[in-house]
């Protein structure tokens, strides 16, 4: 395993939602607090799109060059070529303190996401967006900071975290939409930080970025730690496999909220990192948009 290297000195306040597009050979992510979606191309160039709201997460749409956006206030479709933004479908409009946070597509092409509450009260729900853009609330316990949503290679297991609880959960996930009962998958100690964004490798291992933990940790399907990648920043936020062979792990990070002293010690905070971990990933599931 080679050491992590900085590939984009992005200085993101809150870099998140790491995604690799295997069709264009590009790495995508969002700076939530900067209301930006960013793309790193094969030639090293970076393109950004600034949105009218914070972008908690997003997904590639099947066909065309559109993105399904999880904006702070709701779901919308964005055309990266024309820069046309479809009207927002509100989510939790009755809860002004929450916003959309982490999300990923399941293996059926539906977008699953959760909410963030800065007060860290567990009041936000988990939701699933269907191809017709219908938003369904899932029967899962409310969370304060929903994170780490991802799916096993066969799609039969869903993983998620509520970061303040330092716990990653797993549950049976059926193609017809039914959910099993959540069970503890992994629990971090107080000195290990908080579970943030996750991705799955081809062998079924879960790679979790650990906020304030300075690392990304791999867990096998039974929840046992099998690898740990140290990083030069304290707040890694999300990971995604990429590269032509899907054997490169990209990791986003955050610099927002760090003191001047900590930023002096972490000059690369908010950057995007890459490392060859010795495992391969899977192509990103895409949102199947019906219109």
Residue 204's domain spans which residues? Answer: 5-275
> Which CA distances in Å does 271 have to 56, 125, 192, 259?
17, 30, 21, 16
Give dist(CA 77, CA 66) in Å, integer: 7
65 burial via Cβ count (<10 Å: 0-12, 13-18, 19+): middle
**Helices within 209-274 (DSSP H only):** 260-265
Q: For tokens 């790679």, name the residue.
A: 207
Q: Within 13 Å of residue 271, how many CA atoms lie on the same side as its CB?
A: 17
Tokens standing for 19?
Answer: 């995604």
pLDDT digit of tens for each residue in the chain (291 aa)? 558 999 999 999 999 999 999 999 999 999 999 999 999 999 999 999 999 999 999 999 998 899 999 999 999 999 999 999 999 999 999 999 999 999 999 999 999 999 999 988 999 999 999 999 999 999 999 999 999 999 999 999 999 999 999 999 999 999 999 999 999 999 999 999 999 999 999 999 999 999 999 999 999 999 999 999 999 999 999 999 999 999 999 999 999 999 999 999 999 999 999 999 999 999 999 999 987
Is 52 part of any domain?
yes
Model pLDDT, residue 1: 53
Is 290 part of any domain?
no
Is 22 part of any domain?
yes
Model pLDDT, residue 2: 57
Model pLDDT, residue 120: 87
How many domains is the chain partitioned into structurally?
1
**pTM exceeds 0.95 for this model:** yes
Is 215 part of any domain?
yes
- Give the CATH number of the domain where residue 118 resides: 2.120.10.30
Buried (b) or exposed (e) across 158-197, using 16+ Cβ within 10 A? bbbbbbbbbbbbbeebeeeeeeeebeebbebeeebbbbbb
Model pLDDT, residue 64: 80
Neighbours of 134 (CB within 10 A): 12
Report how far Cα 9 is from the mean position of its chain's Cα atoms. Answer: 19
């Amino acid at each position: 395993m080679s050491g992590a290297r900085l590939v984009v000195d992005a200085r993101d306040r809150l870099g998140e939602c790491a995604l690799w597009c295997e069709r264009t050979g590009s790495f995508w992510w969002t700076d939530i607090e900067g209301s930006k979606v960013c793309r790193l191309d094969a030639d090293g160039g970076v393109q950004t799109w600034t949105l009218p709201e914070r972008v908690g997460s997003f997904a590639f749409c099947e066909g065309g060059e559109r993105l399904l956006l999880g904006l702070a206030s709701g779901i919308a479709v964005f055309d990266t070529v024309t820069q046309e933004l479809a009207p927002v479908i509100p989510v939790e409009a009755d809860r002004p303190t929450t916003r959309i946070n982490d999300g990923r597509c399941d293996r059926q092409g539906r977008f699953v996401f959760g909410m963030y509450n800065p007060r860290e009260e567990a009041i936000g729900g988990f939701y699933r967006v269907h191809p017709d853009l219908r938003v369904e609330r899932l029967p899962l316990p409310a969370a304060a900071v929903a994170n780490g949503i991802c799916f096993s290679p066969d799609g039969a297991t869903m993983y998620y975290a509520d970061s303040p609880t330092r716990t990653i959960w797993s549950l049976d996930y059926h193609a017809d939409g039914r959910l099993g009962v959540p069970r503890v998958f992994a629990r971090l100690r107080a000195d290990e930080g908080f579970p943030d964004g996750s991705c799955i490798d081809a062998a079924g291992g879960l790679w979790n970025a650990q906020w304030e933990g300075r690392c990304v940790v791999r867990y096998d399907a039974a929840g046992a730690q099998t690898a740990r990648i140290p990083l030069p920043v304290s707040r890694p936020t999300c990971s995604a496999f990429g590269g032509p062979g899907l054997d490169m792990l990209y990791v986003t990070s955050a610099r927002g909220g760090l003191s001047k002293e900590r930023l002096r010690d972490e000059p690369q905070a908010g950057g995007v990192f890459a490392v060859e971990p010795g495992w391969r990933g899977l192509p990103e599931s895409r949102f199947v948009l019906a219109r």
